Amino acid sequence: MNIPKLFNLAGRAALVTGSSRGIGRAIALGLAEYGATVAVHGTKPAKVLDETLADVRKLSPRSVAVTGDLSQPEVSARLVADAISALGALDILVANASVQIRKPWVEVTQAEAEQQMQVNVHATLRMIQAAVPAMRAKKWGRILTIGSVQQQRPHPDMVVYAASKSAQENLVRNLAKQLGPDGITINNLAPGVILTDRNVPVLADGAYADRVRSIIPLRSFGETEDCVGAALLLCSDAGRYITGVDLLVDGGMALP
């Protein structure tokens, strides 16, 4: 068996939402390093997106950038169409972008709840609906949603965010049965605490950071690169017999 070949993504086209920064950026770089042509994505044209595209292009020169705010319902399908039009195909969809609003549950407004559900659940469904026909035509596709350890260990100040990630994971299990016969796998990768921009303000509080670290069996926060190996497995032929799975990348944080 040629294991390196199973991970090879040469000839595959991928869209990674929310890849201007953080975990999405690391996954986009990983897919590009293994040969995929990648559409990187951010909400709008920005220096950080240009820099990510430049780095991805060093590995995969035909990669492109697409933009759009997924809190606008019409954007999800359009993003997929833009990626297909720019790349000429779409074999891999990584639904990574999310909105996370931290505040006590009783203060969450209707608009804040809707925004999180829109980006984290509704946009994911719409993008999958838009991406599947191209995958079905080839009888090959990989869909990866990015969930959260909060599916199992919800944080009291992120009640809607946690619920949205659980809803997305349920969608994955449901669709795995429906998409399997077409050669399309769909899985969820659930990170724990990963050092990205969104965590900078809270982890700046040393006492809070120590408390969180103490409930992680591996006793450290994750780096964005820690999510890449699992993503490569689930987006390549190496993961061809894995579907409907929720794969935690959390240093053991979800353990009771």
Residues in contact with ligand NAP by CB under 6 A are 18-24, 42-44, 46, 48, 69-71, 96-100, 119, 146, 148-149, 191, 193-194, 196-199
Q: DSSP label at 245?
A: -
Spot the catalytic one: 34, 161, 208, 241.
Answer: 161
Q: Measure the CA–CA gap between 142 and 14, rounded to whole angstroms.
A: 9
Closer to ligand NAP at the Cβ: 191 or 239?
A: 191
Instruction: Tell me which residue has its CB nearest to ligand NAP.
Output: 22
Question: Smallest gap, in angstroms, from Cβ of residue 134 to ligand NAP?
Answer: 21
Q: How far is CA 42 from the centre of its chain?
A: 13
Asked if 190 and 247 count as a contact pair (C-beta separation under 8 A), the reply is: yes
Question: Smallest gap, in angstroms, from Cβ of residue 79 to ligand NAP?
Answer: 8
Question: Smallest gap, in angstroms, from Cβ of residue 161 to ligand NAP?
Answer: 7
Closer to ligand NAP at the Cβ: 11 or 51?
A: 51
34 is catalytic: no
Q: Which residues contact 161 (CB under 8 A, 6 or more apart)?
A: 98, 99, 100, 101, 102, 116, 120, 148, 150, 155
Closer to ligand NAP at the Cβ: 37 or 188?
A: 188
Closer to ligand NAP at the Cβ: 98 or 185?
A: 98
Query: Among 231, 248, 230, 180, which residue's Cα sits nearest to residue 38?
Result: 231
Catalytic residue positions, numbered? 161
